[in-house]
């Protein structure tokens, strides 16, 4: 509404001179490729078909992969080829990390060299298919060896990645990346729009190379300085990273807050301070299709994050998750060039089960539109207001006893697994999904779970009974994502 009011005001004041039109650009958001280079259809034992199965049963491994495996090369290749078929000229691409396979035996299957080989192969192929497109890559927790254990300071992997990605990075971004795996740059074609690519590995609670206090690699300080400078210059900042703040939305045996609690608070407080400078935020890591709202202390929605699903179909091993696989997804986002406001996206996907049954058509031709966000949810853009209304509407009708969730929640839930899981989402499942969207702060999230369906006021202070021991955290997080 605000933008239209602005246009009308300008029309009245400048008369016929005015031509303020929206110029819509497009970019790809891809994430969580998780290549399993050992994948083969011609083995008997599931651990040999793909080590990323952890030995879980695989009855009929297909050419596009298996829901218990990470991505075979052919699946990743087909995702890049499909991007080329669908939109060969995006303004840029964001790539939110996690390129290597899940395994409980990194010594056997991975290592620094293998991690760099895998990232290098994906980098080369994307560069070959999109030779003139700028890519903004972010580091994921699986883009390191050992996984998650990214220490601040000099790092062989970060140095190698800076070289590998130097053709995409400006000189300033390259120098910044070398020091900590994070950087900023201009959005192509604009000097008013900045992209800020964070390295969230330093904030991840599975990273034992950091303590969970202080400011590893001074990244929070850099984030604040960058936002403050942008504010001064009248610029907007688009934030891109791998691990999001807040919780995993799929019900499990754990409440998965990814960041160390102090870092989660720190991130939220920076967003609160600079929300008017932040145009949008895009993350990965969950492998699911979801979003998150960031609020003031008083509960006013002021910012939001979109989480794009992964390319890997891999069913999570997180204890308590029932059948936590997804179909592979790639996302084409539409944005308003003057403001970098996100207007819409089209989610494309490969129905892995169907693709494996089809041995006639090329894999890339089987990637199809899953849905268009505005059409599916009936909102006009991807603003925080639109996303918050959607989520609050879900809460309003899902939460009370003897009430039914709205159709939008049913749609959301199916899309959450990229049209893989068509089961019913029971009351517990609804609660975890919706609380993770609406509450990224630890206390507020715990209140949301505890008070769900009770009709209790939402901001009461009651001591948390949902704390997990650090040992349980480690077990859960080490297994997952
Ligand atoms: Zn991850
Ligand atoms: Zn991942």
Q: Give 28's contacts (C-beta < 8 A, 6+ positions apart).
A: 83, 87, 90, 93, 94, 330, 331, 332, 333
Identify the band that residue 456 occupies on the pLDDT scale cut at 50, 70 and 90: confident
Residue 321 in this model has a pLDDT that exceeds 70? yes
Give residue 440's region: left, alpha or beta (phi > 0; psi -120 to 50). alpha
Domains, the chain: 25-479 (3.60.21.10)
- Which ligand number lies closest to the CA of residue 243? 1
Q: Report how far ligand 2's centroid is from the alpha carbon of 456 (Å).
A: 36
- Between the alpha carbon of residue 221 and those of residues 136, 226, 227, the distances in Å are 21, 8, 10
User: pLDDT tens digits, residue range 152-173?
Assistant: 999 999 999 999 999 999 999 9
pLDDT of 15 reads: 44
Q: Report how far ligand 2's centroid is from the alpha carbon of 287 (Å).
A: 6
Q: Report how far ligand 1's centroid is from the alpha carbon of 351 (Å).
A: 22
Q: Report how far ligand 1's centroid is from the alpha carbon of 402 (Å).
A: 37
**What percent of the chain has a predicted confidence (pLDDT) above 90?**
88
**What's the rounded Cα separation, in Å, for the pair 432 and 452?**
10
Identify the band that residue 75 occupies on the pLDDT scale cut at 50, 70 and 90: very high
**What percent of the chain has a predicted confidence (pLDDT) above 70?**
91
Q: Which of 302, 242, 245 is nearest to 273 (CA)?
A: 302
Identify the band that residue 22 occupies on the pLDDT scale cut at 50, 70 and 90: confident
Q: Report how far ligand 1's centroid is from the alpha carbon of 242 (Å).
A: 6
Q: What is the C-alpha R_g of the chain?
A: 22
Residue 475 in this model has a pLDDT that exceeds 70? no
Residue 370 in this model has a pLDDT that exceeds 60? yes
The whole-model pTM stands at 0.92
pLDDT of 455 reads: 81
Identify the band that residue 276 occupies on the pLDDT scale cut at 50, 70 and 90: very high
Q: Report how far ligand 2's centroid is from the alpha carbon of 228 (Å).
A: 31
Identify the band that residue 315 occupies on the pLDDT scale cut at 50, 70 and 90: very high
- Which ligand number lies closest to the CA of residue 101? 2
Residue 477 in this model has a pLDDT that exceeds 70? no
Q: Report how far ligand 1's centroid is from the alpha carbon of 10 (Å).
A: 45
Q: Which residue has the higher pLDDT, 8 or 205?
A: 205
Residue 175 in this model has a pLDDT that exceeds 50? yes
- Contact yes or no for 79/85 (Cβ under 8 A): no
Identify the band that residue 219 occupies on the pLDDT scale cut at 50, 70 and 90: very high
Would you state the structure tokens that stand for residue 458, as one six-digit string?
């939402």
Which secondary structure element, helix H or strand E, spans residue 173, and what is its range?
helix 171-180
Would you state the structure tokens that stand for residue 259, as one six-digit string?
């960041």
- Which ligand number lies closest to the CA of residue 242? 1
On average, the pLDDT of the chain sits at: 92
Q: Which residue has the higher pLDDT, 329 or 20?
A: 329
């Amino acid at each position: 509404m605000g933008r239209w009011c602005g246009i009308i005001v300008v029309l009245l004041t400048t008369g016929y001179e005015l031509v303020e039109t929206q110029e819509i650009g497009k970019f790809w958001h891809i994430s969580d490729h998780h290549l399993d280079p050992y994948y083969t259809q011609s083995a008997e034992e599931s651990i040999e078909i793909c080590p990323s199965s952890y030995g879980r049963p695989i009855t009929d491994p297909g050419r596009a992969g298996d829901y218990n495996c990470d991505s075979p090369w052919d699946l990743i290749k087909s995702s890049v080829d499909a991007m080329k078929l669908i939109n060969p000229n995006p303004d840029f691409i964001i790539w939110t990390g996690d390129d290597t396979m899940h395994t409980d035996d990194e010594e056997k299957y991975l290592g620094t060299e293998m991690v760099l080989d895998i990232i290098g192969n994906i980098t080369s192929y994307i560069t070959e298919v999109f030779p003139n497109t700028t890519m903004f890559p972010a580091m994921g927790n699986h883009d390191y060896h050992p996984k998650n254990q990214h220490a601040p300071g000099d790092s062989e992997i970060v140095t190698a990645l800076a070289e590998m990605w130097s053709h995409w990075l400006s000189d300033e971004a390259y120098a910044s990346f070398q020091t900590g795996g994070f950087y900023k740059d201009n959005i192509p074609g604009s000097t008013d729009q900045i992209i800020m690519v964070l390295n969230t590995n330093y904030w991840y609670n599975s990273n034992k190379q950091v303590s969970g206090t202080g400011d590893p690699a001074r990244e929070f300080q850099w984030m604040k300085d960058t936002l403050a400078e942008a504010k001064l210059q009248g610029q907007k900042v688009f934030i891109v990273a791998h691990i999001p703040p807040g919780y995993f939305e799929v019900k499990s045996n754990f409440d998965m807050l990814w960041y160390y609690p102090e870092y989660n608070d720190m991130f939220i407080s920076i967003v609160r301070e600079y929300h008017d400078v932040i145009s949008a935020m895009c993350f990965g890591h969950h492998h699911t299709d979801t979003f998150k709202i960031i609020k003031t202390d008083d509960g006013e929605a002021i910012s939001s994050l979109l989480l794009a699903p992964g390319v890997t179909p891999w069913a999570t091993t997180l204890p308590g998750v029932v059948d936590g696989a997804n179909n592979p997804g790639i996302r084409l986002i539409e944005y308003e060039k003057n403001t970098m406001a996100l207007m819409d996206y089209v989610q494309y996907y490969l129905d892995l089960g169907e693709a494996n049954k089809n041995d006639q058509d090329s894999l890339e031709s089987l990637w199809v539109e899953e849905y268009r966000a505005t059409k599916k949810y009936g909102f006009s853009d991807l603003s925080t207001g639109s996303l918050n209304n959607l989520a609050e509407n879900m809460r309003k009708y899902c939460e009370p006893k003897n009430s039914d969730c709205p159709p939008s929640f049913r749609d959301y839930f199916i899309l959450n697994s990229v049209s893989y899981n068509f089961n019913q989402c029971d009351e517990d499942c609804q609660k975890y999904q919706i609380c993770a969207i609406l509450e990224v702060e630890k206390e507020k999230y715990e209140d949301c779970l505890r008070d769900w369906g009770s009709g209790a006021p939402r901001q009461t202070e009651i001591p948390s009974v949902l704390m997990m021991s650090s040992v349980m955290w480690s077990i859960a997080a080490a297994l997952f994502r």
